[in-house]
Amino acid sequence: MSDSTSRSGSTVFRQDSDSGQSAPDNASDISWLSWDGNNVQALESEESASPRSTTSSSDEQQPSTSVARRSKSSSTRTTTATAPRPSARPRARPQPIPATANTFNFDLFDAGDRYVNDWLPDFSQQPGLLVDTENFRCVDFFSLFFSPAVIDLLVTQTNSYAAHCLDPLPATNYYKKRWSDTYREEMQAFIGLQIAMGLNPKPSIDDYWRSFWLVDIHFKQVMSRHRYKLLSAFFHFSDAAQHVPRGQAGYKPLQKIHNFLDLSPSFLTAYYPHQQVSIDESMARFKGRCHFRQYMPDKPTKRGFKCFCLCDSVSYYCLRFVVYTGKDFSPLPDGKAFTNHLVETLLDGYLDKSHILFCDNFYSSQGLFRELQNRQTGAVGTVVETRKGFPEQLKKVHLPLRKGDDPVFAKAGDLVATAWHDTKRVCLLSTVHSNGVMHKRIRCSKTPGGFRAVQKPILAESYNSYMGGVDHFDQLHRNYHYPHRSYKWYMALYHYVKDMCLVNAHILYKADGGTDSVKDFRSSVIDALVKPYMGMRPGRPRAQPNPTAERLSAAQLGHFPAKFADAKHRPLCKVCSTIKKRAQTRFYCPQCNTALCVERDCFRIWHTAADVRQARQQLEL
């Protein structure tokens, strides 16, 4: 066994030719060692000049040129001393940080650290359906969430609200005379029409009942426009008499829709998620006036109600959501951060089961990840450098990185932090990853061949793969959503939850082996909701046209023969044509605008005989 050594100041690296491991001769002389995927950098705690180069006092802060590099042709590490090219900017190096500044006791990875983060037990749950779906129709998947209990609630509260509004009015009131209590089949048809509006959006609700050939879609065959608007006007979810005005004790921002939100989200009992789950914000679109409406400029839907959602990162199934109504109505346990309390609320029922949570920098913190680790739950997320406890060594002021630099890792126990600069600088935390990197080729028009090679942290690749659960759910949610606005804020949340039930129902349908597209699935749900009501709807007899009665009333209506003004105009007689006899005539009936023979008694037959053909045949006998 032979040793090769290289020195940088008072730091000595010893290269073992057999094992390929490097170790410092004097660990007390080194503040920390940086592991960045390919390069091992040694920084000195004492300010001394390198024996291989002479620098002035003004150059003492320049990075050391002693770099330990991994050889691509072999598995051993070789230590070489290279000077930066004059035309290239020197690679950024972290500056030494006092140990007292590191609140969470982060240490940068040692060069030979083969750390494996394996504390999380194996995931033993079986993801998928939790209900028996044998012989299920499309509407049965939807009914798992929009159950008969929800329909009955809507029927009861709608009738109650109509009575609350109409009882004080006089009996001659327009709406009071035309209102009648609704029932389950009618309410189902009403909801089916709302879903159908998403499949065929129109500029206004009235357009669905227009008879113009370009927009006629036969909504009138299900329900009249007047009845639909009456139901929309009194559509309600709670007892209006029990509402507490804002500013008084007991006021709840969601009291007008609270009962509906309690019954609808039965998502947890129908499906169990995969190991990877994600938390993010979703927006229920609303531009009206409401004190807890939010504005999020980075979201596709910028104005509306903020909903914190927990989604399966593989199937995009929404497991739970919380509507944010403002800090004044979101009580927190003593000493508990809002994000920590929110994450624990959304993950209730999934802790201690080896799930891995993916979240963005709004939620990520060292404290939260430690709490989740104590509950046997992993966590991965981006983090801002200003977050309390973030390692000082990885902050931009001490670690200036540029595009193409290798990632730099630090760890505190099982918590791994990394700083990496690809298109822009990003910092990540993870309790389930190590310092592994992967080689990727990225398109780049400025390099020969159109590609450039990068060293990407594996935890960044994992984050990109599983963080988009809520964003994908939002994309599915926006397909065929209810297109019309309302002045009532609770209607925006109702349509948001209704469309959420449809998205989750289709995910269950696909998991059960269904093959219908989203559009075909919703069409099947609509048919099943409206058909029972169409079969029992009390129809109104329509007056059928009776041409015989109109023709036989000739004497009262003034049907008398007249001649065509043009003597050469002699059309065929209408009555003679019934027996296939060609007879031209100059006479006609101006009221009927029909050519009739006078000399053969065809004029009398046309206006008096019920069976014109039989009466004309009698003349031939």
Of the chain, the percentage scoring pLDDT greater than 70 comes to 78
CB 188 within 8 A of CB 529: yes
The pLDDT confidence band at residue 555, using thresholds 50, 70 and 90, is low
- The rounded distance, in Å, linking the Cα atoms of 286 and 304 is 4
- The rounded distance, in Å, linking the Cα atoms of 353 and 377 is 7
pLDDT of 560 > 90? The answer is no
Q: Which pLDDT belongs to residue 22?
A: 38
pLDDT of 42 > 90? The answer is no
Q: Count other Cβ atoms within 10 Å, centred on residue 358.
A: 28
pLDDT of 304 > 60? The answer is yes
- The rounded distance, in Å, linking the Cα atoms of 79 and 91 is 17
The pLDDT confidence band at residue 512, using thresholds 50, 70 and 90, is very high
Q: Determine the 3-state secondary structure of 308 from DSSP.
A: strand
Q: Please return the burial class of 592, using the count of CB atoms within 10 Å of its CB with bins 0-12, 13-18 and 19+.
A: middle
Structure-model confidence comparison of residues 211 and 160, the more confident one: 160
Mean local confidence (pLDDT), 436-463: 86
CB 82 within 8 A of CB 67: yes
Q: Which pLDDT belongs to residue 449?
A: 83
Averaging pLDDT over each range in 26-30, 229-233, 389-393, which range is the top one? 229-233
Q: Which pLDDT belongs to residue 553?
A: 57
Q: Count other Cβ atoms within 10 Å, centred on residue 294.
A: 19
Q: Which pLDDT belongs to residue 592?
A: 86
Rounded to two decimals, the pTM is 0.70
Mean local confidence (pLDDT), 447-454: 84
- CA neighbor of 41 nearest in space, from 17, 60, 21, 64: 64
- pLDDT tens digits, one per residue of 136-193: 999 999 999 999 999 999 999 999 999 999 999 998 888 998 999 999 999 999 999 9
- The rounded distance, in Å, linking the Cα atoms of 334 and 2 is 61
Q: Which pLDDT belongs to residue 546?
A: 56
Distance from the first to the final alpha carbon of the chain: 132
Average pLDDT, the chain: 80
